[in-house]
Each structure stands twice: as structure tokens, then as C-alpha cells.
């Protein structure tokens, strides 16, 4: 009986397998079918004969070696010593910077104010290794420029260029005493023009931004174009993690009148209103409960300043100055700098929700 049951079960399993195979075959297509290609499928618009269109011109590469050979002899290394006070007393600190000779006969050298500021001795080293003591002809803190003089003649010098001719993408070369290791050159392009950068509370304006690598020691050295002319004086860089290629130079056209005034012994004037400012936008307006979302917010007013005399107060927002609408703090600073000392200007400002008009007489910025 057991054998009979085992036989029946075996037969049933075989039958089930056969039916399963046959059942599956019933759902298989008897012949292959094709699926229509979707619209715009690969290959539908192919053009086997296509080639890249050829350019019409080939721009020559800049002749960097010739420019460097021309300018480098006029670039000097500047070494300074200054007395520094600390909790442990006074000590002498050395620093290195750069400069460029602009006058072969009189030995005038242009550099940055911060290179020679508070220096009690200044030594310069020429490209050929000769060293000279230098005297400070004059300095201007606000533009970060200084002029030195060395007692030598027949010096190599760099011609002064016209920075107004610069365009984005122009090749430039920064030459200077990078890291105090001697005169070296680095190349880049002009990446931005008319830039403002605040360094230690002082805002430098009209700067040239370049991708040419700038390192400590480069300060005061020239930024030159492909004609070998000085179109800027290297002044600052943004040095922080993740930031590259953001060096700045004072434009030659901005520096020229300051250099001339320093050499001629003229007093350099800086129009002054006597306010600290912050740009207003929608976020600043909302955060401070302002009734306008543009303009220059007065953060502080210096006592006795033109702004103080004109009745301006903290939290006022200047929206019009002289003949110019003010959208940002930079707009106002530029407008002030374009004024003449002693000039009286009309100022429109908003105090809470009221629009008011006052007049201020611009003064020379106090030392």
C-alpha cells in the first residue's frame, strides 16, 4: 500500500511539472515583436559628416619673459626696522616689503605706507645687490602709499602706465620681494576693476583685483601690464582658508596724484563728513526697524564733525547727497570723496519715518 501511494505521488509530481512547463509556454510569444523607437531617440538626428567649426583667429601668447626682463631691475627689496613695545619691554622688529623706482635721476621709490609705517630705519636693496639707506619723502595712510628717496643716479626705472585702459582678462605681472626671499615674478589676469577692500578699518577704493599670486613681502611692488608699464601698486590680498587668486593693487591713476603731492611736499586732503556708515538693504531694514530699504545708515557721528554740525544723528539713513541718489554706503563715501574741502552740500536723510533735508560743509579729514 505504501509503495502504491509513493507511486501515485511520484506520478502526480511529474504531471504537475509537465503542466507547469506547458502552462508557461502558453504565455510566451510565438514570434519576436519590435517596440517602436521613442521620439528623438539617439541616432535619429545624427550627422556623420559633422566637424567642429574652425576659429578664425589665433591669439598670440603674451611675451612674459621680455616684460619681466624689462621691469625687474627697477623693483627693489625694502627692509625696515621698527621699535615695538610689549609687556616685556621694547625690542626691534624687522619687516620686508617691495618698491619700484619711478625716477632714474632723483632716486624716487614708490611703495605702500604700511611697509614703512613707524620704521626707524629703511634699507633698500637693488636688483644688482647694491644696498642704500632710504629716506621717507612722505606717506599717506588713507591711500596706503609712500614715497622713498635713495641717494643714487642712473637707476633703472619703470614707466608709469594708464590703468584706465585695463580690461577684464588683461595679462598682468606682479613683481616683488615675496616672503622676503628676493625679487620674483608671478603672472595672472585682471579679474575685477574698481574694487573696494577694507583693511584694518581703512577702506581702499578703486583697486585692481588680480589672479597673480601675491604673498607677504610683495606689498609695495608693481603690477605691470604687457607693455612693461606700472598699472598698479600691490597692496593687499584676502588670505583665508578656501580663498585663492584675490590679490589687490592700487590703480596707477589713483596713485599718481598722491605720489605727485608727496614729492612736491603738498598737503594731501581727504574730504570728510565725520560719520561711520553701513549699507541698508531689505534685511538690514527689517532687523533695525527702518522705514527704507536702501541708503547709508549712520552708525556713529563724530562730535564736532560736519555731520554733527548739520544735525545728523545715529540711525539716520542718508538717501541723497549733493546731486546723487545713495543706495549703499560706498555710494556715499564716493560722493564725499568727490567733494571739495569747504564745499557745502545738501543731504537728504530719513529719520524714523520722516524725510528731512540738511546742509553740511565738507572739511579736511583730521590727522
Active site residues: 114, 144, 219
Cα 317 from chain centroid?
28
Cα 127 from chain centroid?
29
Amino acid at each position: 500500500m505504501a509503495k502504491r501511494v509513493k507511486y501515485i505521488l511520484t506520478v502526480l509530481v511529474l504531471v504537475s511539472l509537465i503542466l507547469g512547463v506547458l502552462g508557461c509556454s502558453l504565455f510566451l510569444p510565438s514570434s519576436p515583436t519590435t517596440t517602436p523607437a521613442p521620439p528623438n531617440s539617439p541616432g535619429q538626428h545624427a550627422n556623420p559628416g559633422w566637424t567642429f567649426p574652425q576659429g578664425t583667429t589665433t591669439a598670440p601668447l603674451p611675451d612674459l619673459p621680455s616684460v619681466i626682463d624689462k621691469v625687474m631691475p627697477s623693483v627693489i627689496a625694502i627692509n625696515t626696522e621698527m621699535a615695538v613695545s610689549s609687556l616685556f619691554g621694547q625690542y626691534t622688529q624687522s619687516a620686508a616689503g617691495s618698491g619700484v623706482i619711478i625716477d632714474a635721476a632723483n632716486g624716487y621709490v614708490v611703495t605702500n605706507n604700511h611697509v614703512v609705517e613707524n620704521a626707524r630705519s629703511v634699507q633698500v636693496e637693488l636688483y644688482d645687490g647694491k644696498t642704500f639707506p632710504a629716506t621717507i619723502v612722505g606717506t599717506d595712510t588713507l591711500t596706503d602709499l609712500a614715497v622713498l628717496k635713495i641717494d643714487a643716479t642712473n637707476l633703472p626705472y619703470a614707466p608709469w602706465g594708464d590703468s584706465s585702459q585695463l580690461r577684464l582678462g588683461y595679462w598682468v605681472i606682479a613683481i616683488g620681494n615675496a616672503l622676503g626671499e628676493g625679487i620674483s615674478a608671478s603672472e595672472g589676469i585682471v579679474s575685477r576693476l574698481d574694487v573696494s577692500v577694507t583693511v584694518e578699518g581703512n577702506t581702499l577704493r578703486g583697486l585692481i583685483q588680480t589672479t597673480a599670486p601675491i604673498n607677504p613681502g610683495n606689498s609695495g611692488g608693481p603690477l605691470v601690464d604687457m607693455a612693461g608699464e606700472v598699472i598698479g601698486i600691490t597692496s593687499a590680498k584676502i588670505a583665508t582658508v578656501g580663498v585663492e587668486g584675490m590679490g589687490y593693487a592700487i590703480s596707477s591713476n589713483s596713485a599718481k596724484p598722491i605720489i605727485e603731492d608727496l614729492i612736491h611736499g603738498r598737503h594731501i586732503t581727504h574730504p570728510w563728513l565725520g560719520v561711520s556708515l553701513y549699507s541698508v538693504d531689505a534685511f538690514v531694514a527689517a532687523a533695525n526697524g527702518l522705514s527704507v530699504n536702501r541708503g547709508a545708515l549712520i552708525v556713529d557721528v563724530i562730535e564736532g564733525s560736519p555731520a554733527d554740525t548739520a544735525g545728523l544723528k545715529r540711525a539716520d539713513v542718508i538717501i541723497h547727497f549733493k546731486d546723487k541718489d545713495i543706495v549703499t554706503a560706498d555710494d556715499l563715501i564716493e560722493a564725499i570723496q568727490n567733494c571739495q574741502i569747504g564745499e557745502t552740500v545738501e543731504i537728504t536723510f530719513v529719520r524714523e519715518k520722516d524725510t528731512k533735508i540738511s546742509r553740511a560743509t565738507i572739511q579736511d579729514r583730521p590727522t
